[in-house]
């Protein structure tokens, strides 16, 4: 998905939030393009939900300003911000019908009763659940309840849609279905959407822009492909998928790559992220999916490829993929994930691991 270049619709300027002595969000500047789906991604306690709650009006910022469509909203009450909000637990009223749940926000916006019925029916059709208005939430599955929560959020035609870990209560198959539903619906409606998650698959598969957070700071923001393939630091590379990290020293620079030496004096080629000079200490990050495995007896040297040699000490068969752990002669273990094209390699097999130098990113050591 391409990152949209629309102007900022939501803007955080110097935003900070303290809870007593705890600094949850630290002097953050962030812009959300109009009509985009932006994901706040990070582990628990990184500040992503706090940021969302400040935008929603559920928490007051300690300092800084929040803007929606150019208007400062710090002092605007939550019911006047025109936001659609979806929580992790759906927050449906168990004693109200589906119709009453979806219509709830409209009643507080002085929408005429004659229009409420049409708007609710349209919202239910949009989430592909027409005709369920007379049912109770307990009569619907978890996935259907999530759709109702989505219908309730969009029926008010919000300026911004906020979603806080909305899929975490669903099983894996339903999560995949709902990821596609939310992505398609956001594209259809064109509503500016901020999605909070700790699941990197959700972030990478749905977003126009991913904002990776840690300890109240933005570590990196950009299109999913950029953040994944050109991670700014160790944390981002480690949090986004399966990565191998190798300490090294810069030995020689060229226009296309850097030659580095590992701790066991092995020479490799890598692409730098940032400026490096000879003798700088650094680390190489290699995604597990970037390795190509083969039997050592079949190894043929290739230009622009780095190679490692070892034996498989563990593996996990995952259907279409196999996760391998290969122990090198220096006892270092590297992780590789390969698609299954033939009989998977087995423990004890002696293999080579090839990786293009373009997939070996050189990072500064934090």
Answer yes or no: are the C-beta atoms of 101 and 86 closer than 8 Å. no
Query: Which of 128-142, 146-160, 189-203, 248-262 has the least mean pLDDT?
Result: 248-262
Helical residues (DSSP H) of 190-331, grouped into ranges: 200-206, 224-229, 234-239
Per DSSP, what are the bridge partners of residue 221? 211
Global pTM value:
0.90
Average pLDDT, the chain: 92
Q: What is the pLDDT of residue 22?
A: 93
Architecture in CATH of 244-364: Beta Barrel (2.40)
Which residues make up the CATH 3.40.50.300 domain(s) of the chain?
8-238
Buried b (16+ CB within 10 A) or exposed e, 302-329: eeeebbbebebeebeeeeeebbbbbebe
Inform me whether the pLDDT recorded for 3 exceeds 70.
no
Residue 247's SS3 state is strand
Residue 51's SS3 state is helix
Query: Which of 60-64, 174-178, 224-228 has the least mean pLDDT?
Result: 174-178
Which residues make up the CATH 2.40.50.140 domain(s) of the chain?
244-364
Closest CA to 245 of 163, 362, 165, 329: 362
Q: What is the pLDDT of residue 6?
A: 63
Closest CA to 59 of 67, 69, 51: 51
Kindly state the average pLDDT of the residues 133-156: 94
Q: What is the pLDDT of residue 1?
A: 43
Tell me: the pLDDT tens digits for 273-328? 888 989 999 999 999 999 999 999 999 999 889 999 999 999 999 888 999 999 99
Give every CB contact of residue 83 below 8 A, 6+ residues apart in sequence. 55, 56, 57, 158, 159, 160, 161, 162
Residue showing tokens 């002085």: 110
Q: What is the pLDDT of residue 272?
A: 87
Where does the pLDDT of residue 94 fall: very low under 50, low under 70, confident under 90, or very high at 90 and above? Answer: very high
The CATH code that applies to domain 8-238 is: 3.40.50.300
Query: Which of 89-93, 221-225, 269-273, 279-283 has the least mean pLDDT?
Result: 89-93
Residue 252: both structure tokens together: 């020689």
Residue 86's SS3 state is strand
Selected residue with higher pLDDT from 110 and 300: 300
Answer yes or no: are the C-beta atoms of 117 and 126 closer than 8 Å. no
Where does the pLDDT of residue 2 fall: very low under 50, low under 70, confident under 90, or very high at 90 and above? Answer: very low
% the chain with pLDDT above 70 = 98
Tell me: the pLDDT tens digits for 11-26? 999 999 999 999 999 9
């Amino acid at each position: 998905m391409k990152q949209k270049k629309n102007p900022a619709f939501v803007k955080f300027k110097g935003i900070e939030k303290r809870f007593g002595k705890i600094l949850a969000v630290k002097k953050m500047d962030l812009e959300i393009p109009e009509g985009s789906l932006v994901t706040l991604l990070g582990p628990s306690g990184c500040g992503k939900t706090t940021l969302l709650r400040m935008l929603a009006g559920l928490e007051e910022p300690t300092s800084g300003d929040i803007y929606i469509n150019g208007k400062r909203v710090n002092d605007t009450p939550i019911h006047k911000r025109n936001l659609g909000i979806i929580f992790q637990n759906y927050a449906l009223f168990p004693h109200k019908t589906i119709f009453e749940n979806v219509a709830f926000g409209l009643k507080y916006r002085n929408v005429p009763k004659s229009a409420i019925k049409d708007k609710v029916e349209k919202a239910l059709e949009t989430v592909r659940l027409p005709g369920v208005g007379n049912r109770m939430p307990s009569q619907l599955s978890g996935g259907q309840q999530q759709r109702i929560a989505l219908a309730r959020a969009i029926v008010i035609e919000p300026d911004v849609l906020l979603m806080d870990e909305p899929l975490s209560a669903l099983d894996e198959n339903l999560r995949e279905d709902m990821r596609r539903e939310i992505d398609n619906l956001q594209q259809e409606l064109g509503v500016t959407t901020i999605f909070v998650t700790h699941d990197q698959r959700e972030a990478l598969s749905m977003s126009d822009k991913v904002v990776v957070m840690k300890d109240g700071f933005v570590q990196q923001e950009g299109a999913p492909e950029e953040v994944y393939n050109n991670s700014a630091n160790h944390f981002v590379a480690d949090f986004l998928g399966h990565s191998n990290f190798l300490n090294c020293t810069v030995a020689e620079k060229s226009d296309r790559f850097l030659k580095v030496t590992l701790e066991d004096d092995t020479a490799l080629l890598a692409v730098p992220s940032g400026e490096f000079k000879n003798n700088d200490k650094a680390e190489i990050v290699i995604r597990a999916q970037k390795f190509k495995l083969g039997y050592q007896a079949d190894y043929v040297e290739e230009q622009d490829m780095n190679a490692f040699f070892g034996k498989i000490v563990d593996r996990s068969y995952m259907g279409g993929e196999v996760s391998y752990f290969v122990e090198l002669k220096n006892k270092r273990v590297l992780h590789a994930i390969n698609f299954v094209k033939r009989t998977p390699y087995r423990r004890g097999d002696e293999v080579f691991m090839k990786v293009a130098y373009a997939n070996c990113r050189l990072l500064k050591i934090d």
